[in-house]
Structure 1
């Protein structure tokens, strides 16, 4: 068996077309969607992400501004910056680029972003809403992975799913999202004794650990869907750097029914979800301001 390679770029392009139409409608109404990206210190590690986000924003009709602050800025100063952006109706979404300096905890900044402008879906309230199957502004990578699975000819109700990795922003949200769709979910982590026992029983496997080659073909049920969310930099046999996922692609492709490549799988869809969230956040803010300042009748 040779797996069908899932084209994340094509899925992202379809989503981007829908987002662009909605962004234009908001612009015509006087609410042009606008994102602000915040990075701190040396931006080399985040530069590629920022560049890709800007390109996707432009393609989706969303204004994008990247702001970089000195590494010496304090947490309190950054929280003040975010408070100002929260209060500015011309700003509809705030992105916190990682990594951050050691003295600035990312969770503190995520909490500082107003939930209506949390386009990354990282605010505790956004994460918590998933428990109630409320996807108003969900965490982008988790939502992207599930959206990819939904494009496949698989019935979500009763689907046996294995999630390898239980991070707060990817693994756990995926588990709740899939349960909300009616799937039966097993979550594996670093204390799971026999991961392969669980993954071989699953109709769909999500892996998001950050360990290249963690999943191989022997760990999959024939015909299963494999959604690889990992992003790792490794060197090939000639010492050249390349990007790979958490799965051994060659062996998994011989067993799986569908598989996401890395790059070109979950990544493009994640950025498309970010833009979709930006437009949705703008719509929500428009409605919020209309309700708050509507003339009394």
Structure 2
């Protein structure tokens, strides 16, 4: 499929040009397409898709993420059933809410916003979500479908990365992809998706020996470790495609804060063939796939 918008280029001080993998632009287009789809389907089915995002506590980053998701729902035409709970909410209270949402015919997707307060068991809560309403694609049933190469809801961030690579026609067949990070949220499912696209995949992590040698061997380098700017130019093969999944807030000496990724953008942009910015790269794609998963669940439910 041809891209409907040209690559965005970053002009550097030495007049070289680094193409940017523009997740913000692509996510906006996906949302527009979903909006048109939802308008048509709502007339057919008699109700809009519904998404419930559960947030516990007052984490500022989580509040910003939830706010962005709710705004995106409004834009697309998805009914938002967001629920905000105080920090001292108990495990059993949340499990009861999830069970109620599982039975609610107006709700097609359920997402538990992470991280949760320490006294809560996130894994158990995720397992309580009905697999068909698992908008974040993290239920063991959906992860099992991914392992087996079967249809199912996919983890939002990894699926967003794959969609972004597809849009810019990044050839993965036979290429060496290195994923730095082994979380169940990103690293492991993304490695499986890359394997399904015929890439040769290495998963690196904090215990990997000579990490720089591993990353320098990558044609496709994906950083998903949550450590600000740890991937530097000397760790990147010239001409590699670099995808930065990290979103970290750092504060400078003046007290001013800003968002940075796991990649040292200013140095790596001069080495890479393509690179994602932070913000504006993978983050918007995660939200777009969340909405896409919700609409997919909605269609399957209404047609069953």
Bin of the TM-score, shorter chain as denominator length:
over 0.9
Match of 2:243 in 1: 227
2:5 is the counterpart of 1:18: no
* CA distance in 2: counterparts of 1:249 and 1:2, whole angstroms: 14
* CA distance in 1: counterparts of 2:270 and 2:85, whole angstroms: 47
* CA distance in 2: counterparts of 1:203 and 1:31, whole angstroms: 45
> How big is the shift at 1:135?
4.8
Of 98-107 and 86-95, deviating more is 98-107
Alignment of 1:261-272 (within 5 A): 261-272=277-288
Alignment of 1:165-184 (within 5 A): 165-184=181-200
The answer as to whether partners of 1:31 and 1:286 remain within 8 angstroms in 2 is no
Encode CA deviations 1:205-247: one digit per residue, 9 max, x unaligned.
0000011121111111111110000011112343310000001
Alignment of 1:1-297 (within 5 A): 2-29=17-44, 30-42=46-58, 44-288=60-304
* CA distance in 2: counterparts of 1:126 and 1:169, whole angstroms: 12
Encode CA deviations 1:127-177: one digit per residue, 9 max, x unaligned.
222111235211101111121122223322112111111111100111000
Match of 1:293 in 2: none
Secondary structure, counterpart of 2:278 in structure 1: coil
Secondary structure, counterpart of 1:169 in structure 2: coil
The answer as to whether partners of 1:127 and 1:173 remain within 8 angstroms in 2 is yes
Structure-2-length-normalised TM-score: 0.91
> How big is the shift at 1:117?
0.6
**How many residues of Structure 1 are paired with residues of Structure 2 in the alignment?**
288
Of 22-31 and 253-262, deviating more is 22-31
Secondary structure, counterpart of 2:110 in structure 1: strand
Q: Unpaired segments of 5 or more residues in structure 2?
A: 1-15
Structure-1-length-normalised TM-score: 0.93
Encode CA deviations 1:170-198: one digit per residue, 9 max, x unaligned.
00111000000111111101111012212
Of 107-116 and 63-72, deviating more is 63-72
* CA distance in 2: counterparts of 1:31 and 1:283, whole angstroms: 11
Secondary structure, counterpart of 1:85 in structure 2: helix
Secondary structure, counterpart of 1:3 in structure 2: strand
Q: Which has the higher contact order (CA 8 A, sep 6+)?
A: 1
The answer as to whether partners of 2:21 and 2:168 remain within 8 angstroms in 1 is no
- The change in CA–CA distance for 1:236 and 1:41 in structure 2 (over 3 A counts) is closer
- The change in CA–CA distance for 1:52 and 1:156 in structure 2 (over 3 A counts) is same
> How big is the shift at 1:284?
1.3
